[in-house]
Amino acid sequence: MQILVISDTHGRYDILRKVLSEHRDAEFVIHCGDGEYETERLIAEHPELKQWILQVRGNCDHDRAIPLVREIALPYGHKAVAVHGHTMMHGDLQQNLVNLAKDCGADIVLFGHLHVRIDRNVEGIRLFSPGSAALPRDQFPPGFGLLDVMEGGILTSHGNISRSSLDSMPEW
């Protein structure tokens, strides 16, 4: 099972639509926050996507109906917890994320907010940030993440969003 992870699109509907249209074969999408308005627009235009896109609320999102934390059961006994991360910044972010995962019984935490790609194991918990799809703050271009959930574990990878590829908007 493949899952698309995206975060921090910050109003860039064109980016969100492009990445999602290129990954329609993903089982579902997890948006790790700061993408409320463009996600809302995409779902309004394509209501059939409502169950396909899972969101958590970021610090730039205002809809209180969007949860701050989302637990997601995955195949083969895996479990993810998604959070934007802005509420976890007090103290040690890494340890706060690990503690959240342990409290939820999750083996992977998906998060955004930092606009930086992260993929590391800490205390047996995978911490994964896709970086920002619109405004990266690291040496990488705008990007997204992919999770391949398998019986033996979860394989993670990052992908790049080419600015030039945004010129050709695919049909949904």
Q: What is the pLDDT of residue 154?
A: 95
Residue 17 lies in a domain: yes
The CATH number of whichever domain residue 104 belongs to comes to 3.60.21.10
SS (H, E, C) 35-85: CHHHHHHHHHHCHHHCCCEEECCCCCCCCCCCCCEEEEECHHHCEEEEECC
Digitized pLDDT (tens) for each residue of the chain, 172 residues in all: 999 999 999 999 999 999 999 999 999 999 999 999 999 999 999 999 999 999 999 999 999 999 999 999 999 999 999 999 999 999 999 999 999 999 999 999 999 999 999 999 999 999 999 999 999 999 999 999 999 999 989 999 999 998 766 666 556 5
Residue 41 lies in a domain: yes
The total number of structural domains in the chain stands at 1
Domain residues for the domain of 54 are: 2-163
Residue 169 lies in a domain: no
Q: Which residues pair with 153 in a beta bridge?
A: 150
Residue 170 lies in a domain: no
Total-model pTM? 0.95
Residue 172 lies in a domain: no
